[in-house]
Structure 1
Amino acid sequence: MTTTQLEGLIGMLFVLGILVLLVLPAVFGIVRDRRVDRQLREAEQGPAKERGPAEGQGPVRDQKSSSRSTVPSTATWYAEGRRSKKLVSS
């Protein structure tokens, strides 16, 4: 292998490496989107198909809510105040 061929091979491998680095995040994004789509489809079908009384695993329980009361954040309070001011000034 001559020096010119070796330089060509190194250049080609360098370009392919850069191409892989540029394409890799897009591939990860596609894989993530497909996983999310699959999870959404499974959620739309409902939990009764996955685990329910028909399969002998017992009744499906509702999700329990937290016993703590929810308090609006400062951002919500600020937005509500500005919204009411706009309504009054109109």
Structure 2
Amino acid sequence: MNTNQIQGLIGMIAFLGILVLLVLPSLLGVMRDRRVDRQLREAQEDRSSEADQKSSSRSTVPSTATWYADGRRSKKFVSS
């Protein structure tokens, strides 16, 4: 190998190294997002299967926010 070939090889290796450094964080982020999406999808499927299995005999109580909103709505005056 002569000097020009060695310099070309060093330049190509440097270019590929910089390219990897720039692309690697993006690829890691995409892989992380896919993992999180998969975990969320599995959790949602588990939650929906649990909801299907729960009995409907359990009484439901409205949340405090619902109770407060219902009280506020009933106090509004209607102008005629």
TM-score of the two chains, using structure 2 as the length reference: 0.58
Regions of 4+ moved over 6 Å: none
Residue by residue, what CA displacement relative to the aligned partner does 1:5-55 show, whole Å, maximum 9, x if unpaired? 000000000000000000000010011001001001101102586xxxxxx
Q: How many residues align?
A: 51
Structure 2 unmatched ranges of 5 or more: 50-80
Q: Partners of 2:48 and 2:30 in 1: how far apart?
A: 29
TM-score of the two chains, using structure 1 as the length reference: 0.51
Give the structure with the higher percent helix.
2
Structure 1 unmatched ranges of 5 or more: 50-90
Q: In structure 2, what is the equivalent of residue 11 of structure 1? A: 11
Q: Which has the larger radius of gyration?
A: 2
Higher RCO (CA < 8 A, seq sep 6+): 1
CA RMSD of aligned residues (A): 2.0
Aligned AA for 2:18? Answer: I
